[in-house]
C-alpha cells in the first residue's frame, strides 16, 4: 500500500479507501464506512456510506480497476452513465466522478456513482423496460451525426475503437476487429477462423450493413448502453424501478444493443416478449427480413469478447459457426468450412450460464 497519509483512516468496513475517491465527493462529506459489495468479473466494488454536509446520509457505489483497459473502463463508464442519464433520467445510477491513484503497486482507476440496493434475481417488467430502452435509442442523438463516442469505452474489460465514422459498416468493423484481435491474443491463431473473420469483414458487413448507406439511404446513430444483459440490470429495492449499470456506450445502430440477447448466457432477454414490445416503439430497420441475420452478426461481438476474457469457453466456436452461416448466405467462399446447424444455439436452444466471481 502507498503512503498511509493517502488513505482514509477511522473508517468502518473492509475496503481501503483512498483520499482521491473522497475528493470527487461533495465538499464536507464525512465517510462512515467502506465495505466490499457486489460481484464483478473485472473490478473490485464497494459501498461507501457517508454523511453529507447538510446531515443527509447517502450511499456511493465504488468500482476500482487495474491493468488492461482500466482507464477506459472507468472513464468510459462515467461518460456513458452521464450521457444515458441526460437522455433518460433515472435509468442508470447518477455518476459522481472518476479518477486514479497509486495504490503502492500500480495505478488504480475508479468510478464513483450513486448506490442502489438492487434485486438481481427478478426479471424486469418487459413493457416498462423496453419503453425506456426505446426512449434511450430515439432521444440519444449523436452530437455530430456520426457513429462513435467522444472517448474510448469498454465491453467487459475490452476497449472498443469508437473513433467517429460516417459509415456504420466502418464503425462496426472497427469494433469487430478489436474483439477478433483480443480473442486471438488469448486463444491463439486458428487459420480457418481467421479466414472466416476476414470474409465476414470483406464480404458480409458491406452487404448486410453497408447497403443501408447507399443509393441515398441513411441510418441515424443512436446512443446504446453497449453491454446490456441480465447481469447489468437490477430492480431498486426501495423504489421498484429498473436500473441499468456498467454501460460502455457508443452511438451505433440501435439493433446492436440486442446482440447479447442471442447469446447462450441469456436467460430472460431471449424471451420474444422483450423484442416484440421494443418494436412497438422502434420498428426494425429495413429490410425487416434481415433483422435476424443482423442480430446474429451483432452477437459475434459479445461472443468473441467473452472468448477473449474466458479462455477455452465455447463462445469462439459458436461465433465461428455463426460467421460461416453469414458467409454462406451473403458472401460465399469455397475455401471456408461449412456451417453446422447442430452447433447453432438459435436452433438447439442451448443455455450456458455465465460464471462471475468478485475480484480479491
Between 349 and 150, the more confident residue is 150
Specify the pTM. 0.94
Query: DSSP class of residue 145?
Result: S
State mean pLDDT over 114-139: 97
Residue 358 has what pLDDT?
Answer: 42
Q: Omega before 287 cis (within 30°)?
A: yes
pLDDT bracket for residue 41 (50, 70, 90): confident
Interval 12-36: pLDDT, tens:
999 999 999 999 999 999 999 999 9
Grid cell at residue 260 = 447479447
- The continuous run of DSSP H or E covering 359 comes out as none
Residue 360 has what pLDDT?
Answer: 45
Burial of 279 (0-12, 13-18, 19+ CB in 10 A): middle
Interval 270-280: pLDDT, tens:
999 999 999 99
Closest of 244, 248, 272 to residue 124, by C-alpha: 244
* Contact by Cβ (8 Å): 242, 93: no
Burial of 106 (0-12, 13-18, 19+ CB in 10 A): exposed
Mean pLDDT in the chain?
Answer: 94
pLDDT at 151 over 50: yes
Interval 155-180: pLDDT, tens:
888 899 999 999 999 999 999 999 99
Interval 42-79: pLDDT, tens:
899 999 999 999 999 999 999 999 988 899 999 999 99
- The continuous run of DSSP H or E covering 144 comes out as none
Q: Report long-range pairs for 229-234 (Cβ below 8 Å, ≥24 apart).
A: 229/260, 229/261, 229/263, 229/265, 229/266, 229/269, 229/302, 230/265, 230/266, 230/267, 230/268, 230/269, 231/120, 231/354, 231/356, 233/120, 233/124, 233/129, 234/116, 234/118, 234/119, 234/120
In percent, the amount of the chain with pLDDT more than 90 equals 87
Residue 347 has what pLDDT?
Answer: 85
Interval 318-360: pLDDT, tens:
999 999 999 999 999 999 999 999 999 888 776 666 555 444 4
pLDDT at 216 over 70: yes
Scan for cell 442480430, then name that residue: 295
What residues does 196 pair with on adjacent strands?
A: none
Distance CA 92, CA 90 (A): 5
Amino acid at each position: 500500500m502507498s503512503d498511509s497519509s493517502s488513505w482514509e483512516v477511522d473508517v468502518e468496513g473492509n475496503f481501503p479507501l483512498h483520499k482521491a475517491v473522497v475528493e470527487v465527493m461533495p465538499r464536507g462529506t464525512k465517510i462512515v464506512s467502506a465495505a466490499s459489495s457486489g460481484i464483478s468479473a473485472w473490478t473490485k466494488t464497494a459501498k461507501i456510506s457517508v454523511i453529507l454536509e447538510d446531515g443527509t446520509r447517502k450511499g456511493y457505489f465504488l468500482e476500482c480497476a487495474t491493468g488492461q483497459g482500466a482507464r477506459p473502463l472507468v472513464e468510459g463508464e462515467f461518460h456513458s452513465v452521464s450521457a444515458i442519464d441526460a437522455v433518460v433520467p433515472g435509468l442508470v445510477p447518477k455518476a459522481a466522478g472518476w479518477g486514479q491513484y497509486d495504490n503502492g503497486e500500480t495505478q488504480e482507476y475508479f468510478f464513483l456513482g450513486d448506490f442502489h440496493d438492487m434485486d438481481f434475481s427478478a426479471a424486469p417488467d418487459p413493457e416498462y423496460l423496453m419503453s425506456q430502452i426505446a426512449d434511450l435509442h430515439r432521444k440519444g442523438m449523436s452530437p455530430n451525426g456520426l457513429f462513435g463516442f467522444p472517448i474510448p469505452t469498454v465491453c467487459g474489460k475490452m476497449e472498443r475503437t469508437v473513433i467517429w465514422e460516417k459509415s456504420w459498416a466502418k464503425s462496426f468493423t472497427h469494433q469487430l476487429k478489436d474483439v477478433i484481435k483480443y480473442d486471438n491474443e488469448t486463444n491463439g491463431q486458428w487459420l480457418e477462423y481467421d479466414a472466416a473473420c476476414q470474409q465476414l469483414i470483406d464480404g458480409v458487413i458491406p452487404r448486410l450493413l453497408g447497403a443501408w448507406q447507399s443509393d441515398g439511404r441513411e441510418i441515424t446513430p443512436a446512443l446504446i448502453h453497449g453491454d446490456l444483459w441480465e447481469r447489468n440490470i437490477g430492480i431498486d429495492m426501495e423504489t421498484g424501478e429498473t436500473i441499468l449499470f456498467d454501460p460502455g456506450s457508443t452511438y451505433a445502430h440501435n439493433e446492436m444493443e440486442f446482440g447479447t440477447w442471442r447469446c447462450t448466457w441469456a436467460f430472460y432477454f431471449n424471451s420474444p416478449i422483450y423484442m416484440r414490445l421494443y418494436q412497438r416503439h422502434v420498428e426494425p430497420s429495413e429490410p425487416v427480413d434481415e433483422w435476424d441475420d443482423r442480430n446474429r452478426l451483432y452477437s459475434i461481438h459479445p461472443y468473441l469478447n467473452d472468448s477473449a476474457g474466458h479462455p477455452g469457453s465455447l463462445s469462439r466456436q459458436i461465433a465461428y459457426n455463426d460467421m460461416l452461416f453469414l458467409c454462406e448466405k451473403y458472401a460465399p467462399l469455397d475455401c471456408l468450412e461449412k456451417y453446422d446447424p447442430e452447433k447453432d444455439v438459435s436452433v438447439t436452444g442451448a443455455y450456458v450460464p455465465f460464471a462471475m466471481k468478485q475480484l480479491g
